[in-house]
A and B are shown apart, each in its own frame.
Chain A
């Protein structure tokens, strides 16, 4: 079988994306209210990893306890959200599918807000209550939206899913506002949290995100051939031998878990999962074997740059990251969608 140009260029594209990711991570650690040199950053991380003593003149507390965990959290969240978007866009054969447009992120946010407002916890696991509530609520939302869309037209039509997702998101937003109103003690933190923020994230969240991303991305990438078949049509997937029900269920649960964990840590961060798979598709094509890894990298880079903007644009005031991703993402999406449609 002959290889296409995109297949041949894929390793080079991944290498470039990897280099860009490392560069962006380094930039995000160095730039902030206190400027830190690249040399100091590299030295502090090197010494910390290999258990060496860090020189006194290096701001190790800022590098290792403030910026590095935050940058890792942002990287893992961006990669996760973008991966989920790519998987959903393939599974539902819908270029507009994403956790935020389909109401899954809002659903997860509702679960997390209720857990925070009521003080729901799991014994021995500080974030357990919020995380579990966000995951269950994300899955329930996705299930509800797809059921409603299927009942409407029996074919999971693109426009039906998006329409129901938008209505569901509006409905959930009003419920969240209601919960926040009654939970007046937590109003400020809840409000900030629903707009998204990575402020104050630590290594506990990094470990949780890393573990979830490793497991969920392994599952999603294992289903790359099935996603290719679904991206053509569900009917085609069934005809070539895909166990449609099992594949759909596994992928929807995996996506819900990943979005639920992300939302429980950073709140609602829109547009990453919607826009970045389109950028990745432009780079490596629609084949999910190449698209999923490219989405991981591009999502991480995009969210890192958005977080950097949120931290530094109006410093010392920090903008909610959801606001930055929405502004940049919406503009980028309009341009991409317009160009894609025009190019057909």
Chain B
């Protein structure tokens, strides 16, 4: 569904992402893992065309730069790491913005299923009771769920999530990941997400890319990537034992 070919991103002289390639197939949950500064979020921002890059991202075989922004947004939904609002929008207004790419025009009949998708997204994320609440009064976790609802309302085929469990307590972390896993069960869908919590990556991911200083250290099936040797190499400490310990708690 989504393929990255030799992606290189530089800010000035500094190379942030150095020759990353991957392929995301239907039904897969690809976890991007690595320490801070590895280039994971920058890579995601490049898919969203937020930073300039060399190489190619192909969606359904076509360079994403050639897709119309609305058409691409109908197919790829992105949840970023930093979400905040400056004005007192309601949760409903923010979630409804997820339908922007589907709204069409008067001739095309507008966004017929939009209201239903917004309802569904609010329901899925447990935000229905807070739908009329001012976004400025929400907690970090509620804010994150509101933006996740916006992405669900977008009704994409690929979800790209930059630390979706950011600001969430353990209960909501598990709930959100289970929710995404449920979403992924529908055929024709795939997920790419940046995660810091390796135990969550190990529990929910099907595949992974381990990044370090912009380069790919290992990629493939999650079991083959999250090994003691690879993690030791990237984190320079024994995080494998910690990951296994946390994993037993999740399960």
Q: Chain A interface (Cβ within 8 Å of chain B)?
A: 1-2, 4, 93-95, 225, 228-229, 231-233, 235-236, 238-244, 281, 285-287, 344
State whether A1 and B118 are in contact (beta carbons under 8 Å apart), knowing that A228-B97, A232-B85, A241-B74 are contacts in the complex.
yes
- B3 contacts A by Cβ under 8 Å: no
- B8 contacts A by Cβ under 8 Å: no
- Does the CB pair A240–B73 fall under 8 Å? yes
- Does the CB pair B131–A2 fall under 8 Å? yes
The total of interchain contacts (Cβ-Cβ below 8 angstroms) comes to: 91
- Taken together as a complex, chains A and B put the C-alpha atoms of A229 and B95 apart, in Å, by 11
Contact stretch, chosen from B98-106, B172-180, B196-204, B217-225: B98-106
Which 4 interchain pairs have the tightest Cβ spacing?
A: A241-B73, A241-B101, A286-B87, A241-B70
Write the chain B residue with the least CB distance to A287.
B93
Main DSSP-derived SS at the B contact region: helix
Contact stretch, chosen from B13-21, B54-62, B76-84, B187-195: B76-84
Q: Which of A232, A239, A241 contacts B89 (CB 8 A)?
A: A232
State whether A240 and B48 are in contact (beta carbons under 8 Å apart), knowing that A4-B92, A4-B132, A231-B85 are contacts in the complex.
no
In the bound complex, residues from chain B placing their C-beta under 8 Å from that of A235 are: 45, 48, 50, 80, 82
- B25 contacts A by Cβ under 8 Å: no
- Does the CB pair A243–B94 fall under 8 Å? no
A26 to chain B, nearest CB (A): 34
- Taken together as a complex, chains A and B put the C-alpha atoms of A93 and B86 apart, in Å, by 6
- Taken together as a complex, chains A and B put the C-alpha atoms of A228 and B115 apart, in Å, by 18
In the bound complex, residues from chain A placing their C-beta under 8 Å from that of B150 are: 236, 240
State whether A1 and B115 are in contact (beta carbons under 8 Å apart), knowing that A225-B97, A242-B100 are contacts in the complex.
yes
Write the chain A residue with the least CB distance to B103.
A225
Among A1, A241, A244, the most chain B Cβ lie within 10 Å of the Cβ of A241
- B166 contacts A by Cβ under 8 Å: no
State whether A4 and B100 are in contact (beta carbons under 8 Å apart), knowing that A238-B48, A239-B73, A241-B73 are contacts in the complex.
no
State whether A242 and B85 are in contact (beta carbons under 8 Å apart), knowing that A225-B103, A344-B136 are contacts in the complex.
no
- Does the CB pair B86–A228 fall under 8 Å? no
A147 to chain B, nearest CB (A): 16
24 A-B pairs whose Cβ atoms sit less than 8 Å apart in the complex: A2-B131, A4-B132, A93-B86, A231-B86, A232-B94, A233-B80, A236-B97, A236-B150, A238-B50, A239-B48, A239-B77, A239-B80, A240-B97, A241-B69, A241-B70, A241-B72, A241-B73, A242-B69, A243-B69, A281-B87, A281-B88, A286-B88, A287-B93, A344-B136
In the bound complex, residues from chain B placing their C-beta under 8 Å from that of A232 are: 85-86, 89, 94, 97
- B119 contacts A by Cβ under 8 Å: yes
State whether A231 and B87 are in contact (beta carbons under 8 Å apart), knowing that A4-B132, A239-B48 are contacts in the complex.
yes
Main DSSP-derived SS at the A contact region: loop
In the bound complex, residues from chain B placing their C-beta under 8 Å from that of A4 are: 90, 92, 132
- Does the CB pair B86–A94 fall under 8 Å? yes
- B96 contacts A by Cβ under 8 Å: yes
Interface 1/0s, chain B 111-123, versus A by CB < 8 A? 0001100110000
- Taken together as a complex, chains A and B put the C-alpha atoms of A239 and B75 apart, in Å, by 11
In the bound complex, residues from chain A placing their C-beta under 8 Å from that of B114 are: 1
- Taken together as a complex, chains A and B put the C-alpha atoms of A279 and B82 apart, in Å, by 29
- Does the CB pair B87–A236 fall under 8 Å? no
- Taken together as a complex, chains A and B put the C-alpha atoms of A247 and B48 apart, in Å, by 16
- Does the CB pair A228–B73 fall under 8 Å? no
A121 to chain B, nearest CB (A): 42
- Taken together as a complex, chains A and B put the C-alpha atoms of A95 and B94 apart, in Å, by 18
Given contacts A244-B69, A286-B89, 20 further A-B contacts (CB under 8 A): A1-B115, A1-B118, A2-B92, A93-B86, A228-B93, A229-B100, A232-B89, A232-B97, A235-B48, A236-B80, A236-B97, A239-B48, A239-B78, A239-B79, A240-B73, A241-B69, A241-B71, A241-B100, A281-B88, A286-B87
In the bound complex, residues from chain B placing their C-beta under 8 Å from that of A286 are: 87-89
- A-contacting residues, B23-82, CB 8 Å: 45, 48-50, 69-74, 77-80, 82
In the bound complex, residues from chain B placing their C-beta under 8 Å from that of A239 are: 48, 73, 77-80, 151
- B144 contacts A by Cβ under 8 Å: no
- B125 contacts A by Cβ under 8 Å: no
- Taken together as a complex, chains A and B put the C-alpha atoms of A237 and B50 apart, in Å, by 11
In the bound complex, residues from chain A placing their C-beta under 8 Å from that of B83 are: 233, 236
Write the chain A residue with the least CB distance to B147.
A236
State whether A240 and B154 are in contact (beta carbons under 8 Å apart), knowing that A232-B85, A235-B80, A281-B87 are contacts in the complex.
yes
- Taken together as a complex, chains A and B put the C-alpha atoms of A94 and B87 apart, in Å, by 9
In the bound complex, residues from chain A placing their C-beta under 8 Å from that of B70 are: 241, 243
Q: Which of A2, A93, A225 contacts B100 (CB 8 A)?
A: A225
Write the chain B residue with the least CB distance to A234.
B50
A93 to chain B, nearest CB (A): 5
- Taken together as a complex, chains A and B put the C-alpha atoms of A229 and B115 apart, in Å, by 18
- Does the CB pair B131–A238 fall under 8 Å? no
A234 to chain B, nearest CB (A): 8
In the bound complex, residues from chain B placing their C-beta under 8 Å from that of A238 are: 48-50, 69
In the bound complex, residues from chain B placing their C-beta under 8 Å from that of A242 are: 69, 100
- Taken together as a complex, chains A and B put the C-alpha atoms of A95 and B86 apart, in Å, by 8
- Does the CB pair B131–A240 fall under 8 Å? no
Among B69, B131, B147, the most chain A Cβ lie within 10 Å of the Cβ of B69
- Taken together as a complex, chains A and B put the C-alpha atoms of A285 and B45 apart, in Å, by 31
Interface 1/0s, chain B 121-150, versus A by CB < 8 A? 000000000011000110000000001001
In the bound complex, residues from chain B placing their C-beta under 8 Å from that of A1 are: 92, 96, 114-115, 118-119
